[in-house]
């Protein structure tokens, strides 16, 4: 079934555990395991699940110019990072369109890593090299490294126990720490894409099967892409290629908080700075909003948001069931004048019109 699709180091183990494999971003990836998408979703919310995200790309920036290179590429301020800390950001085209959303990790003053989306690795590398390739050494480590995410209220405890390192429980959000797990050297970053607590574990690709098996032996359930999507949507985390892409800018996408137009006198202007400065000053013609469907019905990407005369004035980018909070939810771009909880939405899908109400913030917030 893989054909020309790439496979992660965990592919054989996924097949052993009955995973339903699907093509995703040029890779053969598990959609679900034996529990099914709904139960896998609940397992992550209630206990812990483990995800194979080894298809993601990793690019290291090395040398004296590493920070300057990163600052040139991303909109957020990597200059605020201490060693062992990370931040979420986007990297943009000169016109302000989003090339990718990513996480920047600082290992040291001359070593940064940017984790990028699987479908964008070649494009991002070309973008990085064009705009910052002369500032430091750029190393594509995507094939060398595997990435395993352990997510859920019990995730941190599982990782700390398997590593024999209680101090891992004290790693702050968006912090990272080196550890040993199943005999493998890993970097444990307290980041994720589910709205839950947990770690994303970097390791050599050859070590991934041992780490994965140790987590499963400890009772952590394997989780596929299907539940990953419902989890991230409940947490209102954007998906590149659906909610954001090169035709969208951070301001209209609700990501103004990752745009730092003033990083200080010593920081270079990032790619897209002039365009985003203008967009901020002029305002946006549309905004990405969250909605909850009223009554029965699920809205899928591509559905039309209607104006007063039933003309299409916007479109749904993400939509589906919300297993934890109930009902159906989604994200859509709408004219700025329509954005806000005071404006109900009418959404047309396959000729049927559904009512929806707008909501601010994530649909789900994990208990503290």
CB 339 within 8 A of CB 287: yes
Residues 346 and 294 in one domain: yes
The reported pLDDT for the residue numbered 4 is 86
Angle at 314 between CA 228 and CA 340, to 5 degrees: 80
The values of phi and psi at residue 360, to 5°, are: -100, 140
CA–CA dist 42, 189 (Å, integer): 23
The reported pLDDT for the residue numbered 3 is 66
Residues 118 and 220 in one domain: no
**DSSP one-letter code for 9:** T
The reported pLDDT for the residue numbered 368 is 79
The reported pLDDT for the residue numbered 102 is 98
Per-residue pLDDT of the chain (368 residues; tens, 9 = 90+): 556 899 999 999 999 999 999 999 999 999 999 889 999 999 999 999 999 999 999 999 999 999 999 999 999 999 999 999 999 999 999 999 999 999 999 999 999 999 999 999 999 999 999 999 999 999 999 999 999 999 999 999 999 999 999 999 999 999 999 999 999 999 999 999 999 999 999 999 999 999 999 999 999 999 999 999 999 999 999 999 999 999 999 999 999 999 999 999 999 999 999 999 999 999 999 999 999 999 999 999 999 999 998 999 999 999 999 999 999 999 999 999 999 989 999 999 999 999 999 999 999 999 87
Number of domains in the chain: 3
Domain residues for 207? 6-51+143-234
The reported pLDDT for the residue numbered 2 is 56
Domain contains 12: yes
Residues 175 and 115 in one domain: no
Residues 157 and 298 in one domain: no
CATH number for the domain that contains residue 275: 3.30.70.1400
Helix (H, G, I), strand (E, B) or coil at 247: coil
The reported pLDDT for the residue numbered 84 is 98
Residue 280, C-beta contacts closer than 8 angstroms, at least 6 positions apart: 251, 256, 259, 261
CATH number for the domain that contains residue 364: 2.40.30.110
CA–CA dist 146, 176 (Å, integer): 16
Run of H or E including 214: helix 208-217
- CA–chain centroid gap for 164, Å, is 29
Residues 350 and 311 in one domain: yes
Domain contains 1: no
Residues 205 and 262 in one domain: no
Domain contains 266: yes
Q: How many alpha carbons fall within 13 Å on the CB side of residue 119?
A: 12
Chain position carrying tokens 């194979």: 52
Residues 217 and 257 in one domain: no
Domain contains 149: yes
CA–CA dist 112, 108 (Å, integer): 7
């Amino acid at each position: 079934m893989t054909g020309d699709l790439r496979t992660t180091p965990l592919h054989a183990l996924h097949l052993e555990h009955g995973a339903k494999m699907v093509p995703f971003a040029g890779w053969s990836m598990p959609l679900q395991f034996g529990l099914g998408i709904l139960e896998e979703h609940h397992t992550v919310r209630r206990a812990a699940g483990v995800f194979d995200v080894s298809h993601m790309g990793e690019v290291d920036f090395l040398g004296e110019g590493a920070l300057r290179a990163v600052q040139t590429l991303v909109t957020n301020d990597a200059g605020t990072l201490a060693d062992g800390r990370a931040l979420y950001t986007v990297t943009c085209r000169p016109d302000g369109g989003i090339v990718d959303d990513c996480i920047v990790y600082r290992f040291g003053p001359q070593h940064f890593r940017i984790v990028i989306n699987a479908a964008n690795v070649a494009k991002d590398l070309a973008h990085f090299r064009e705009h910052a390739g002369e500032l430091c050494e750029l190393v594509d480590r995507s094939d060398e490294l595997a990435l395993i995410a352990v997510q859920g209220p019990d995730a941190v405890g599982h990782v700390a126990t398997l590593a024999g390192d209680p101090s891992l429980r004290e790693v702050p959000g968006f912090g990272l720490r080196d550890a040993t797990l199943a005999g493998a050297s890993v970097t444990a970053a307290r980041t994720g894409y589910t709205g839950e607590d947990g770690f994303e574990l970097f390791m050599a690709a050859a070590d991934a099967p041992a780490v994965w098996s140790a987590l499963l032996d400890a009772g952590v359930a394997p989780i596929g892409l299907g539940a990953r999507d419902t989890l991230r949507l409940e947490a209102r985390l954007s998906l590149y290629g659906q909610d954001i892409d090169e035709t969208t800018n951070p301001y209209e996408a609700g990501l103004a908080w990752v745009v730092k137009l003033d990083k200080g006198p010593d920081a270079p202007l990032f790619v897209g700075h002039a365009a985003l400065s203008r967009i901020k000053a002029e305002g946006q013609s549309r905004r990405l909003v969250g909605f909850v469907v009223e009554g029965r019905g699920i809205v899928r990407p591509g559905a039309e948001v209607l104006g007063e005369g039933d003309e299409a004035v916007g479109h749904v980018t993400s939509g589906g069931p919300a297993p934890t909070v109930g009902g159906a939810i989604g994200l859509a771009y709408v004219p700025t004048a329509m954005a806000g909880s005071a404006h109900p939405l009418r959404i047309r899908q396959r000729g049927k019109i559904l009512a929806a109400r707008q909501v601010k913030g994530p649909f789900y917030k994990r208990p503290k």
